Amino acid sequence: MSSKAITMRKIKEVLRLRFECHLSMEAIARSLELSKGVVVKYCQLACAAKIDWKNAQDWDEARLRNTLTPNASELVRTTPYVLPNFALIHQELKNKCMTLQLLWHEYVASTEGKTYSYSAFCEHYSRFTKTLKLSMKQIHKAGEKCFVDYAGPSIPIIDVLTGEITKAQIFVAVLGASSYTFALATAAQKTADWLLGQRKAFEYFGGVTQVIVPDNPRSLIADPDRYEPSIGRSYAEFAAHYGCAVIPARPRKPQDKGKVEVGVQVVERWILARLRHQQFFSLADLNSAIADLLEELNTRPFKKLPGNRRSAFETIDKPALKALPTKPFEMCSWKKAKVGIDYHVELEHHYYSVPYQYARKHVELRYTASVVEVLCEGKRIAAHPRVIRTGYSHGLSSQTTVAQHMPKAHQAHQQWSPQRLLIWGKEIGMSTQMLVSHLLYQKSHPELGYRACLGLLSLTKKYSKERLEAACAIAVSNNAMTQKSVRNILATKLDLAPANKTSPTPKSAQQLPLHENVRGSGYYH
């Protein structure tokens, strides 16, 4: 006989067959598939309650129950069975991997006295839950929601070269209507990992849902407020790129994301548990193994419904998904910075120019793997190809400068080159060219000598080219090859002395004794 609780409808049928049809107890038991003892029990209760069937046949089930068992609460209190602590059991079921069957075994083992069978235990617990606060059953529309989360367990990844073991995290995405499931191993649970998993999930589904429902991780949600959560900037850009909305689950409200909770549990039991004895040496190898088991998971038949996750997805969710954008989302990061007085901002030891009008202002850097954008009060003021430096050493830096960002005076300076300066020096004379060449190439980089060369050549504005050439000749002959020395020679008119027409020698050099131990200015260079 069935161990299920007998409904009042069946009890009413027992009374009808007995008092209206006058069937025997055995015949009623066979007809309704009940034990003879049950039939006798309710017939006796009806007689004790003096129920007139002509009147009782129109009663509702509640009235019939109260008439047959007016002291049901007292019967419960006097029952020989020990009633479990269902409030504690309800809390225990919130723990991961906990089941009613396990709790029933613990109840039987720890109880002195008569205990309920498992079916009666479940029936009493079901009655208890009906006394709790009601929850609204969620109805998921086709193509509406994609629930995302990370599984609890991780999978070791072994580095082949060093033997170092890292823990791969498992990202899970589940569609609301069909329960179609996606899983991906990532290096961590940072913003980039979340967005990578979400992008791969949309590509796996072949479309985009209207809403993404994540938990409240710090890497995605800036302010996990129950009523007005604030989405992180990168996640907001991701949602805008794919044309969907982000609605985080309420904190400490697992019912808001029950779909992905079940999906994570299924992935843990049907994928991660089956991979526990395997070794993986890269994320690619692990994701390949996950992909094979994921296909098997989505094609596994439902227990109580026809078809499987794949067939449900094909008929329900897939037709309702929005098309993927033409280009996938490129992960971006943000950084606050202040423009220096040289109208450059720094990112990872490289300097990028902005229009000089923004010097000393606070800006934001939005950068991807390929582009660096500079924004001031939400307006893009500059964009550069990103330079990723390798082998950086302290004290060294590089820069990217756009000529249009420079003041006009600096633009004029930027137009100079070593070749142009050498040609200009040659036009004045060979000594001038020699001195220009020395000023350019005595430094580690020619650009470091630009200012000295421009200062030297600008002397033609005050002195003639002939005088400048004569002064450079004196400086070269005396190994005093600096812009300052030439300027002093011209200021003292040493280049105009008659003796210097043939053998020009600065006064300072004439006063120096000639000796092999006297070191010139170029000794330490």
Residue 4: the pLDDT is 57
Measured at the CA of 305, the angle between CA 140 and CA 272, to 5 degrees, comes to 80
Residue 58: the pLDDT is 75
Tokens, residue 350: 């490289």
| 450 has a pLDDT exceeding 50 | yes
pLDDT band at 413 (very low <50, low <70, confident <90, very high): low
Least reliable range by pLDDT among 101-115, 318-332, 451-465, 491-505: 491-505
Beta bridge partners of 172: 149, 183
Q: What is the pTM of this model?
A: 0.49
Q: Does domain 145-320 have CATH number 3.30.1330.100?
A: no
| Each residue's pLDDT tens digit, 241-277 | 888 888 877 655 555 556 667 878 888 888 888 888 8
Which of 414, 333, 350 is CA-nearest to residue 385?
A: 350
| 17 has a pLDDT exceeding 70 | yes
Q: Residue 488 has what DSSP assignment?
A: H
Residue 135: the pLDDT is 47
For 401, what's the count of Cα atoms within 13 Å in the CB-facing half-sphere? 14
Under the phi-then-psi rule, with left for phi > 0, alpha for psi from -120 to 50, and beta for the rest, what region is 96?
beta
What is the maximum span of the chain, computed from C-alpha positions, in angstroms? 153
Each domain of the chain, given as residue ranges in start order, spans 8-77, 86-129, 145-320, 333-407, 416-510
Is 433:425 a contact under the CB 8 Å cutoff? yes
Q: What is the b/e burial string over 159-176, where b = at least 16 CB atoms within 10 angstroms of the residue's CB?
A: eeeeeeeeebbbbbbbbb
Rounded-to-integer distance, Cα 352 and Cα 382, Å: 9
Rounded-to-integer distance, Cα 477 and Cα 503, Å: 9
Tokens, residue 150: 């990370």
Beta bridge partners of 132: none
Rounded-to-integer distance, Cα 246 and Cα 193, Å: 17
Tokens, residue 39: 């039939």
Between β-strands 350-353 and 398-400, what pairing exists: parallel, antiparallel or unpaired? parallel
Residue 511: the pLDDT is 44
> What's the average model confidence in pLDDT over 473-502?
82
Tokens, residue 319: 């037709």
